[in-house]
Copies of this chain bind each other. A is one copy, B any other.
């Protein structure tokens, strides 16, 4: 049974669920699953509804936009895989995992291509029959490098950019092109150990858990809305190098988890937080 996903976020008021489900019922659409949530401190309403039945999307959207509060964000998720571009640098663990998952339809996404500031990962990407773009930052200003990256991105029609251990800091100007459409894996349990060398920091501090955070990228580095987090147990016997290895496993799992949530239209962004229906 084919189903479609209806996504609504708007100012909260009484009767919203009744209005939306009334519209669906009128059209003889059956609700297969339904989540609502009210962020009460902000007075903001979120709803994700999976419906079965024959759907005239533009007609439904028109009526909902009329009847919901002004400024409501109402969407029906497209009935296809997400189109993604992956940015990477030299580390293969996250990229390799995504290549395998997409090759075998484990993630609701199609990889359009991979962009890297190094050449290291090109051979692996090409083994999967995908375009690899080496956009070196050598000898370029940050702005010139970002312009070169944007040139490559512009040749694709991507829904999302995935930073799979892309080790360059992106400027707010670059980020602003992809608001809520760029996902990063951060090498720590944010907000601990922000910045460089997190595993060295973790080792020095003698922590007993190593974490990773999948998040949307916004203008403030390491501060975007968090999508998924997880941890792994470490101990005194782990060197900084071994902590980094444990960390790579967690990073791989957390990025895949964050992407699965986003690519199945389960994540709303509300300022610097996410609302996740899962």
Q: Give chain A's interface residues, CB within 8 Å of chain B.
A: 14-18, 21-22, 24-25, 28-40, 92-93, 96-97, 99-101, 103-104, 106, 124, 127-128, 189-193, 205-209, 211, 225-231, 233, 235-237, 245, 248-249, 253, 256, 270, 272-276
B207 & A226 in contact (Cβ 8 Å cutoff): yes
Tell me whether B206 and A245 are in contact (CB under 8 A). Answer: no
Q: Can you give 12 contacting A-B residue pairs, CB < 8 Å?
A: A31-B36, A33-B37, A34-B34, A34-B36, A96-B100, A96-B101, A189-B209, A206-B226, A209-B229, A209-B231, A211-B231, A235-B276
A245's nearest neighbour on chain B, judged by CB, is B106
Indicate if the CB atoms of B103 and A92 lie closer than 8 Å. yes
User: Is the CB–CB distance between A33 and B127 below 8 Å?
Assistant: no
State how many angstroms separate the Cβ of A242 from the closest Cβ of chain B: 11
Contacts of A209 in B (CB 8 A): 189, 211, 229-231
Q: Are B206 and A190 in contact (CB under 8 A)?
A: no
Interfacial chain B residues near A245, Cβ < 8 Å: 106
Q: CB distance A100 to B93 under 8 Å?
A: yes
Whether A189 touches B192, Cβ cut-off 8 Å, given contacts A33-B36, A206-B273, is yes
Q: List residues of chain B with CB within 8 A of the CB of A270.
A: 236
